[in-house]
């Protein structure tokens, strides 16, 4: 079967060199070689996230780390900020784990505004907030900096950020922003195969996690930390992914360079969004468009399914709208190692198929 180049917001296209690192012979996870690999990844992840905090590796998809945040980090009550499918999922995760929580939901094409968060935190009811930085379901980027500023005013309120479709594509300064847990699966802007998740963990989150009645064995942060201190993981990790992550972080930091990578994402977003406004419209409100994917409002009433079928004849693939937004929207990812010329080629092909000039 011929490969379809992925312009989908996860999983994304993975470079050939990286695919090859996945077949590195296995090493034992209690060996010196493993600890060296772990430490090497650690140092680079801290660079990527502008943090001194430890960055844990979760042997799960991102959803597992979302679960870890709320099962370990809430003593009183959690405020789940919701404006899309993934932030809604975080609320469901919080509820289903029996963690006290409320949701602050806005229309899915609107951003969460700092004043709304402030209004809820003023009640003093909450000691944790969950925020999805980049809503992959709607192509909307919430104002993290402004929201983090509000949360920081409340000493006992912790901030947990799902940065799954943003980390390694946009700059996130974890320590400056005061994020207690910043998590991402690697199948989006890292441009790696799915199967491992990274998350920075603040000191005070580790302290609080010791006081919260343990709700989880697998995702127990203090227990994970014990092994972290030895440059190990508690459970047998996906070792092939760690080889790939190490190699890709080298590429991101040393070959491409962080600033160049962030600038490339910004540039691709500009191109796709200019195109989208010319021929269609953009789903989220102005000023909050994502830098890593564009959710196009299907104002022409095209069949997105048929468009994608045509694209697949040319061995590329985009994404339909998420859930209830299917056919009303479609999504083009411009993340990971996708280059400006790839994106231009894709848009030219779509124009061709739809007869747009």
Ligand X SMILES: *Cc1c(COP(=O)(O)O)cnc(C)c1O
Query: Would you tell me which residues interact with ligand X (CB under 6 A)?
Result: 10, 61-63, 86, 132, 134, 136, 162, 164-165, 185, 188, 194
- State whether residue 249 is helix, strand or coil: helix
Residue closer to ligand X, measured from CB, 191 or 302: 191
DSSP track, 158-215: EEEEE-TTTBTTB---HHHHT-SEEEEETTSTT---SS-EEEEE-HHHHHHHHHSPP-
Cα 242 from Cα 172, distance rounded (Å) = 22
Residue closer to ligand X, measured from CB, 48 or 69: 69
226, with CB counted inside 10 A (0-12, 13-18, 19+), is exposed
Residue closer to ligand X, measured from CB, 86 or 280: 86
Please identify which residue in the block is written with the tokens 């040319």: 314
Residue closer to ligand X, measured from CB, 142 or 273: 142
Shortest CB 86 distance to ligand X, Å:
4
Shortest CB 2 distance to ligand X, Å:
25
Residue closer to ligand X, measured from CB, 162 or 337: 162
Residue closer to ligand X, measured from CB, 164 or 332: 164
* Side-chain-facing half-sphere of 188: CA atoms under 13 Å: 26
Cα 331 from Cα 66, distance rounded (Å) = 23
Residue closer to ligand X, measured from CB, 69 or 151: 69
Shortest CB 11 distance to ligand X, Å:
9
Shortest CB 48 distance to ligand X, Å:
17
Which residues are within 8 A (CB) of 53 and not within 5 positions of it... i.e. 6 or more apart?
46, 174, 175, 200, 201, 202, 203
Cα 357 from Cα 351, distance rounded (Å) = 7
Shortest CB 68 distance to ligand X, Å:
12
Shortest CB 348 distance to ligand X, Å:
27
Residue closer to ligand X, measured from CB, 88 or 208: 88
Shortest CB 136 distance to ligand X, Å:
3
Residue closer to ligand X, measured from CB, 73 or 185: 185
**Is the bond preceding 141 in cis, omega lying within 30 degrees of 0?**
no
Q: How far is CA 198 from CA 95, 188, 299, 326, 349, in A?
A: 23, 12, 37, 30, 35
Measured on CA atoms in the order 131, 189, 246, 30, is the torsion positive or negative? positive
Distance from the Cα of residue 143 to its chain's centroid: 15
Shortest CB 245 distance to ligand X, Å:
14
Shortest CB 346 distance to ligand X, Å:
20
Which residues are within 8 A (CB) of 345 and not within 5 positions of it... i.e. 6 or more apart?
none
Which stretches does DSSP call E strand in 16-69?
55-58
118, with CB counted inside 10 A (0-12, 13-18, 19+), is middle
Residue closer to ligand X, measured from CB, 188 or 208: 188
Regarding beta strands 158-162 and 140-141, do their DSSP bridges make them parallel or antiparallel, or are they unpaired? Answer: unpaired
Shortest CB 64 distance to ligand X, Å:
7
CA angle 308, 312, 317 (to 5 degrees): 65
């Amino acid at each position: 079967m011929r490969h379809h180049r992925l312009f989908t917001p996860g999983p994304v296209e993975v470079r050939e060199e990286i695919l090859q690192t996945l077949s590195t012979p296995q090493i034992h996870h209690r060996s010196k070689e493993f600890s060296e690999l772990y430490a090497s990844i650690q140092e680079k992840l801290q660079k990527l996230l502008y943090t001194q905090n430890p960055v844990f590796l979760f042997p799960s998809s991102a959803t597992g780390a979302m679960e870890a945040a709320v099962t370990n980090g809430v003593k009183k009550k959690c405020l789940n900020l919701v404006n899309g499918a993934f932030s809604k999922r975080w609320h469901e995760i919080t509820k289903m784990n029996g963690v006290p929580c409320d949701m602050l939901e806005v229309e899915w094409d609107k951003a969460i505004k700092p004043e709304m968060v402030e209004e809820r935190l003023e009640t003093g009811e909450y000691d944790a907030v969950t925020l999805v930085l980049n809503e992959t379901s709607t192509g909307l980027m919430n104002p993290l900096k402004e929201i983090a500023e509000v949360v920081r005013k409340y000493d006992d309120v912790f901030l947990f950020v799902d940065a799954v479709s943003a980390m390694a594509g946009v700059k996130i300064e974890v320590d400056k922003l005061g994020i207690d847990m910043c998590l991402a699966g690697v199948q989006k802007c890292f441009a790696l195969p799915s199967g491992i998740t990274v998350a920075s963990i603040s000191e005070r989150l580790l302290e609080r996690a010791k006081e919260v009645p343990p709700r989880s064995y697998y995702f127990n942060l203090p227990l994970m930390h014990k092994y972290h201190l030895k440059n190990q993981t508690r459970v047998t990790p996906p070792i092939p992914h760690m080889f790939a992550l190490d190699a890709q972080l080298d590429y991101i930091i040393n070959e491409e360079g962080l600033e160049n990578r962030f600038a490339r994402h910004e540039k691709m977003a500009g191109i796709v969004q200019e195109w989208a406004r010319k021929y269609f419209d953009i789903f989220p409100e102005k000023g909050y468009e994502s830098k890593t994917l564009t959710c196009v409002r299907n104002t022409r009433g095209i069949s997105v399914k048929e468009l994608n079928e045509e694209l697949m004849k040319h061995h590329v693939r985009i994404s339909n709208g998420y859930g209830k937004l299917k056919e009303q929207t479609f999504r083009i990812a411009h993340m990971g190692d996708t280059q400006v010329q790839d994106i231009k080629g894709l848009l030219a092909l779509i124009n061709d198929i739809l007869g747009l000039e």
